[in-house]
């Protein structure tokens, strides 16, 4: 229950940060966009830090069982942030530290993200077909599908847009004046000199 309350607080704090405050009339208060961005920066940074830092009680010792669950859940389509929110899983920053110390773990996580991309591709197909992952709102599903497909291109090179390289080759031959060709007979200039020299 405490985890759900914490998540609800984070979401409500995030929506407060993103949505401008309302004036007494019920319309958003007028603020200078630059001032609003400056005011939002520390709040958003603090929210990101609160999601990615390790919480007390989360494990910090690495073992095969935790690694296996982490890799399996990422490969099944969960984000690392979501996996790290569970109390029995290490925090995001802990996993980052493990990856810095062990490149093979980073490689295993990258492999899991390749499968993660395949799962997301299946989810997009299901969503656009009106399956269980669809919200029922076509515009929202279309926007989600577009964002997920953009992420797929970043996660796995097989889903990237293919770049077409168009090359234009221009070959310019020197234009020789007509008088030059009229002076050449059997590969020799009429004055007896060799034209290839």
Please compute Rg for the chain using Cα positions. 31
d(CA 1, CA 91): 19
What are the b/e assignments for 121-143, b being 16+ CB within 10 Å?
bebbeebeeeeebbeeeeeebee
In CATH, which of 3.90.480.20, 3.40.50.300, 1.10.10.60, 3.40.605.10 is domain 59-159? Answer: 1.10.10.60
**pTM to 2 decimal places:** 0.55
For a pLDDT cut of 90, what percent of the chain falls above it? 20
The mean pLDDT of the chain is: 75
Q: How far is CA 63 from the centre of its chain?
A: 29
Phi/psi at 61 (nearest 5 deg)? -85, 135
Residues of the chain under the 70 pLDDT cut:
1-33, 36-47, 53, 163-164, 176-197
Judge residue 99's burial from the number of C-beta atoms within 10 Å of its C-beta, 0-12 exposed, 13-18 middle, 19 or more buried: middle
Residue extent(s) of CATH 1.10.10.60 domains in the chain:
59-159
Task: Give Cβ neighbours of residue 152 (< 8 Å, ≥ 6 apart).
Answer: 117, 120, 121, 124, 159
Query: Residue 14: its pLDDT value, please?
Result: 42
- Find, among 34, 86, 37, the residue nearest to 57 by Cα: 86
CB 2 within 8 A of CB 85: no
Segment 86-142, tens digit of pLDDT: 889 998 889 999 999 999 999 999 999 889 888 988 888 888 888 888 888 889 989
Long-range contacts of 113-118 (CB under 8 A, 24+ apart): 113/74, 113/75, 113/155, 113/156, 114/155, 114/156, 115/74, 115/75, 115/76, 116/74, 116/75, 116/76, 116/77, 116/78, 116/155, 117/151, 117/152, 117/155, 117/156, 117/158, 117/159, 118/156
d(CA 70, CA 83): 7
């Amino acid at each position: 229950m405490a985890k759900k309350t914490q998540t609800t607080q984070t979401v409500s704090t995030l929506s407060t940060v993103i949505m401008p405050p309302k004036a007494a009339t019920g319309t958003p208060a007028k603020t200078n966009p630059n001032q609003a961005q400056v005011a939002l920066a520390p709040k958003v940074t603090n929210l990101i830090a609160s999601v990615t830092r390790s919480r007390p009680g989360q494990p910090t010792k690495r073992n095969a069982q935790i690694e296996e669950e982490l890799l399996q859940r990422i490969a099944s389509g969960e984000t690392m942030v979501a996996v790290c929110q569970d109390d029995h899983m290490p925090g995001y920053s802990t996993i980052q530290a493990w990856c810095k110390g062990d490149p093979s773990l980073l490689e295993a996580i990258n492999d899991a993200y390749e499968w993660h991309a395949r799962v997301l591709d299946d989810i997009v197909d299901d969503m656009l077909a009106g399956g269980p992952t669809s919200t029922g709102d076509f515009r929202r599903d279309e926007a989600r599908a577009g964002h997920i497909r953009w992420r797929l291109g970043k996660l796995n090179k097989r889903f990237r847009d293919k770049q077409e390289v168009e090359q234009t080759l221009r070959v310019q031959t020197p234009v020789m004046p007509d008088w030059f060709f009229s002076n050449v007979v059997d590969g020799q200039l009429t004055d007896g000199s060799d034209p290839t020299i």
